[in-house]
A = this chain, B = another copy of it.
Amino acid sequence: MRNLEPVKVTHTAPRLSGLATDLYQLTMAAGYHANGRHERASFEMFIRRLPENRSYLVVAGLEQALSYLNNLNFNEEEIEYLRRLPVFAHVSREFFDYLSEFRFSGEVWAMPEGTLAFPGEPLLRVTAPLIEAQIVETFLLSTINFQTMIATKAARIVEAAQGRGVIEFGARRAHGMGAGIYAARAAFIGGCIGTSNVEAGYLFDLPVYGTAGHSWTLAFEKEMDAFRAYHQVFPESTTLLLDTYDTLQAARLATEFGLQLRGVRLDSGDIGALAKQVRAILDEAGMTETRILASNDLDEYKIAELLAAAAPVDLFGVGTELSTSRDAPALGGVYKLVEVEFPDRIEPKMKLSREKATYPYRKQVWRNLDSEGKFAGDIIAMASETDHRGEPLLKPVMREGQLLEAPPTLNQVQQYSKQQLAGLPLRYKTIRDAETYPVRFSDGLFQQRMQLMKQLEQG
């Protein structure tokens, strides 16, 4: 018998590393290095198309993205690993020396977390020496794609809950514990009141919530023994789980605790019907303050149905559907080269490939408000066009690899995201059949792009 060493594979997930990227970023880096290509380049991250059932995005993940840029490096063992890869057999020692001193020294503009964004709009722009801007692509995409996807799903669910609290319950179905922790963070940005994930609560100072599981009830001979034992340890914060054996019978047992009982939870069966019956049992016992929490594969559609049917549910625990964004579990953000700065000129860059063509030039997004202060439409313009009206959504957040200011607290981010959602007219945010929010490219950008396309096609 032996112990597993506390291996380099940690468990919630591996440590930060310069290797946390796709191999081609590092081969391209070696290629740029060998060719003396140290020009500053600008890359922008954007989403080509909204996923199914989505009409807006709630931007999230920027704090982790910036923290990554701020701390990124390669240690000796990692560099040794790269040197031994066959693909690097002909790459010179100078490149690995370069990596050993690698720090991100670039500039970043980004939409603050909680901003509402739409397809085609840059969420983030990196301007840095080519190699630096290239290596960071994979991590930035992975982090911002994921958290933005979850914050967006959370916002839809919270919208459907019409003011009732939504708690993130999905750690066990998230894509590993690391994903669960960041899902809890992003869900809070999207408007959830908290999470069942204790590690997320600890790391991000989020409110944590819990009830008891079925195993608690099963561990006692009688259901009532289990209820009493739990209530004794948690006199002020007991939420009894009712559906281990028979929900209505359990609800009747719960009336013994009277006004002291904080809540009950329904986790199976016909939640709408059960909630009404359980509410009646509780109310009859004078327990009008005892709240009903519902869970069991809930999503925005089921919550909307429950509330449309006047189900007396006070709190929703949402797991799988939220922590995996199950109906749209991938956000296709991309990160594309838009400009290269040569000593004598700035070259705009774009891809022509048919369904994946891009827009050249560094950009800014301008949001216009109508007379009531609601969002009326966005314009994507070249950053050099400064004569647009409205609010510029991309803000400078990092210069020379240094953060320009401390990131906001998650409470501030959540507040901001609520303001943003309040600003979006209802027709653009209904959970079904929402209209498309108007976003257009500026005339200047459109013309410059046409010109560049012609050049490239003749090229």
Contact = CB atoms under 8 A, between A and B. Distances in A.
Interface core residue of A11, A31, A137, A402 (most chain B CB under 10 Å): A11
Nearest to A232: B34
B20 A198 contact: yes
Contact of A234 (B27, B41, B43, B336): B27
A23 B210 CA distance: 5
Closest 5 CB pairs of A and B: A13-B13, A178-B178, A13-B178, A23-B210, A329-B329
Interface of A: 1-4, 6-17, 19-28, 30-32, 34-35, 37, 41, 43, 63-64, 66-68, 70-71, 78, 81-82, 85-87, 89-91, 130, 134, 137-139, 141-143, 145-147, 169, 171-183, 196-199, 201-204, 208-216, 218-219, 222, 229-230, 232-237, 243-247, 267-269, 320, 324-326, 329-333, 336-337, 340, 349-356, 399-400, 402-407, 456, 459
B24 A210 contact: yes
Contacts of A142: 171-174, 176-177, 180
Given A13-B12, A143-B176, A210-B87, A337 B219 contact: yes
A43 B216 CA distance: 12
B17 A12 contact: yes
A152 to B, nearest CB: 14
Contact of A332 (B8, B17, B82, B173): B173
A23 B198 contact: yes
A403 B320 contact: no
Contacts of A82: 198
A146 B134 contact: no
Given A86-B237, A134-B215, A178 B243 contact: no
A12 B1 contact: no
A352 B19 contact: no
Contact of A208 (B23, B177, B214, B267): B23
Contacts of A214: 336-337, 351, 353
Q: How many copies of this protein are present in the complex?
A: 2
Contacts of A208: 23, 85, 87
Contacts of A145: 172-173
A67 B4 contact: yes
A233 B30 contact: yes
Contacts of A22: 169, 171-172, 196-198, 210
B204 A9 contact: yes
A13 B181 contact: yes
A199 B452 CA distance: 38
Contact of A28 (B25, B41, B215, B331): B215
Contacts of A2: 402-403, 405-406
A11 B71 contact: yes
Contact of A353 (B12, B35, B199, B268): B268
Contact of A459 (B222, B325, B340): B222
Contacts of A216: 28, 31
Given A13-B12, A215-B43, A245-B352, A199 B21 contact: yes
A223 B426 CA distance: 47
A4 B407 contact: yes
Contact of A6 (B37, B71, B267, B355): B71
A52 to B, nearest CB: 11
Contacts of A399: 1
B320 A324 contact: no
Contact of A23 (B13, B177, B196): B196
Contact of A9 (B20, B64, B87, B336): B64
